[in-house]
């Protein structure tokens, strides 16, 4: 009887661990971060914009950068922000479903039930030089892009099915004294690939967070769709 109780307890514990591994915690800001009892305490971002995507195996990348297939999510930021947080997880955690206000990629709906394929996420954030008007979004095709930062593996993110913490998160604080590091109104893009030379394939979920309200943020896989979003 005791053995059965212990065994049952271990099963429940294992299930609990699996559930926790799939749970995506609230996205907290770097600004105002505090430490208490050896733990970091972050205030959740006031503004969160979400994107659900799926990359079909063998899908052509937007670019090849340093020998790696790079895909982009284009982001319109409608106001000056003191900080932006970006995180990406693959595969999409079980039970996480898009709300009406969330953005979805063209292949997401047809492949939403497919959750076996995933990739080791690697992300960066860039801003298009000189594009500060919605009407100029399509000029992003010829723009110079300035990079803020990049991230490969984040210990804050849940582990992938492999057990490895290969999901990505970064927080970028605006530097008003440096035009290339200020978070101003404009066209941004999240570049994503896989750290290793494997394939980017399967479902992924991305978030852009800010510690202030940013009504009108848009996210799309191409500039045409982004411009349509933010002009509605």
CATH value at residue 218: 2.60.120.380
Beta bridge partners of 123: 151, 192
| pLDDT score, position 22 | 55
Chain-wide mean pLDDT for the chain? Answer: 90
| pLDDT score, position 8 | 40
Average pLDDT (162-171) is: 96
Beta bridge partners of 28: 44
| pLDDT score, position 232 | 83
7 pLDDT above the threshold of 50: no
| pLDDT score, position 197 | 65
Average pLDDT (203-222) is: 97
Percent above pLDDT 70 for the chain: 90
Higher pLDDT, 9 or 153: 153
Average pLDDT (48-57) is: 97
Q: Cis before residue 91, ω within 30 degrees of 0?
A: yes
5 pLDDT above the threshold of 50: no
Tokens describing residue 121: 């996420």
| pLDDT score, position 4 | 42
Band of pLDDT at residue 182, cut at 50, 70 and 90: very high
Q: What is the pLDDT of residues 117-160, one digit of tens each?
A: 999 999 999 999 999 999 999 999 999 999 999 999 999 999 99
Stretch (H or E) spanning 218: strand 218-220
Percent above pLDDT 90 for the chain: 80
Q: Give the Cα separation of 149 and 123 in Å (integer).
A: 9
Q: Where are the alpha helices (DSSP H) in the chain?
A: 2-22, 223-231
Tokens describing residue 102: 């969330």
Instruction: List, in order, residues 6 or more apart from 226 with CB less than 8 Å away.
Output: 74, 75, 76, 137, 187, 218, 219, 220
Average pLDDT (181-193) is: 98
| pLDDT score, position 36 | 83
Average pLDDT (212-222) is: 96
What end-to-end distance do the CA atoms of the chain give, in Å?
Answer: 64
Structural domains of the chain, count: 1
Helix then strand count (H, E) for the chain reads 2, 13
Strands lying side by side in the sheet with 83-89: 103-104, 47-55, 202-210, 83-89, 168-173
Q: Print the domain residue range for 105.
A: 2-231
Q: What is the pLDDT of residues 63-109, one digit of tens each?
A: 999 888 999 999 999 999 999 999 999 999 999 999 999 999 999 99
**Residue 113 vs residues 42, 180, 216: alpha-carbon distances, Å:** 33, 41, 29
Tokens describing residue 167: 């999901």
């Amino acid at each position: 009887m005791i053995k059965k109780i212990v065994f049952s307890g271990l099963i429940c514990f294992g299930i609990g661990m699996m559930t926790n591994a799939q749970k995506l915690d609230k996205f907290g800001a770097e600004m105002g971060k505090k430490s208490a009892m050896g733990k970091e305490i972050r205030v959740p971002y006031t503004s969160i914009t979400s994107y659900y995507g799926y990359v079909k195996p063998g899908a052509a990348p937007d670019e090849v950068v340093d020998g790696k297939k790079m895909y982009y999510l284009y982001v319109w930021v409608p106001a000056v922000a003191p900080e932006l947080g970006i995180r990406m997880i693959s595969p999409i955690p079980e039970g996480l479903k898009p709300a009406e206000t969330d953005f979805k990629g063209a292949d997401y709906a047809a492949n939403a039930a497919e959750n076996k394929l995933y990739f080791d996420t690697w992300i960066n954030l860039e801003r298009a030089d000189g594009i500060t008007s919605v009407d100029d979004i399509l000029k992003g095709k010829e723009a110079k892009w300035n990079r803020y930062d990049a991230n490969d593996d984040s210990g804050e993110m849940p582990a992938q099915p492999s057990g490895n913490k290969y999901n990505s998160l970064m927080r970028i604080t605006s530097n008003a004294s440096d035009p290339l590091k200020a978070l101003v109104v404009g066209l941004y893009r999240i570049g994503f690939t896989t750290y290793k030379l494997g394939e980017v394939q399967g479902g992924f979920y991305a978030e852009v967070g800010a510690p202030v309200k940013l009504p009108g943020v848009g996210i799309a896989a191409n500039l045409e769709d982004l411009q349509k979003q933010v002009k509605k």
